Structure 1
Amino acid sequence: MTHHPDHEVELFKDEGAYQVYVDLPGYDRDDVDLRWHDGRLHVTAEHRTGAGETRVFNRHVSVPRRIDADAISATFGEDVLTVRLPVAEGGSRPGTRIEVGE
């Protein structure tokens, strides 16, 4: 069963991965271009209608942990794109932690 998001894009964390749900009514699987680049998920969809109009959807999703890019998976069904972003081993937050003083 497909999760139908209440918003255009929803992000959830489950055991060891983030789940991203993107509501794309009126788009087909072939309309979707999905990329992981520079620590962000890039979702672009472009649909051309018979009347010559073009509908474009473009969103970026960031997560606070390192992702195993080779294990990312995605499915599309019932107008919803579902992307699984597995957290990498030792998936601490990227960057250097900075202590905040008084």
Structure 2
Amino acid sequence: MTHHPDHEVELYRDEGAYEVYVDVPGYDRGDFDLRWHDGRLRVTAEQRDAEGETRVYNRHVSVPRRIEADEISATYSDGVLHVRLPISADESRPGTRIEVSE
């Protein structure tokens, strides 16, 4: 059964992974271009109709943990794109921590 999000994009952390649900009805699987780069998931979809009109969808989703990029998976069913972003065993947050002084 497909989870239908209440919002256009929903992000959950569940059992060692982030689950991203994107409500994008009317596209085909081949219309999507998903990219993981620099701690962000980029979701782009483009569809051209019979009259040559183009419909484009473009969103970015950031997560605060390191992701196992080789294990990312995605499915598209009933107008909902579901992307699973497995969290790295090294659960440190990316980047350099900056201390705040008085």
- Class of the TM-score when normalised by the shorter of the 2 chains: over 0.9
Amino acid at match of 2:13: K
For 2:99 and 2:52, the matched residues in 1 are separated by: 55
For 2:52 and 2:95, the matched residues in 1 are separated by: 46
Q: Helix, strand or coil: the match of 2:83? A: strand
Q: Helix, strand or coil: the match of 2:4? A: coil
For 1:78 and 1:60, the matched residues in 2 are separated by: 21
RMSD: 1.0
For 2:91 and 2:33, the matched residues in 1 are separated by: 26
For 2:101 and 2:4, the matched residues in 1 are separated by: 43
For 1:55 and 1:91, the matched residues in 2 are separated by: 38
Amino acid at match of 1:38: D
Q: Helix, strand or coil: the match of 1:101? A: coil
Amino acid at match of 2:41: L
For 1:47 and 1:7, the matched residues in 2 are separated by: 22
Q: Percent identity?
A: 75
For 1:91 and 1:32, the matched residues in 2 are separated by: 29
Q: Does 1:97 align with 2:71?
A: no
For 2:98 and 2:5, the matched residues in 1 are separated by: 35
Amino acid at match of 1:37: H
Structure 2 unmatched ranges of 5 or more: none
Q: Helix, strand or coil: the match of 2:70? A: helix
Alignment of 1:67-82 (within 5 A): 67-82=67-82
1:99 CA displacement: 2.2
Equivalence for 2:47 = 47
1:41 CA displacement: 0.5
Equivalence for 1:13 = 13
Structure 1 unmatched ranges of 5 or more: none
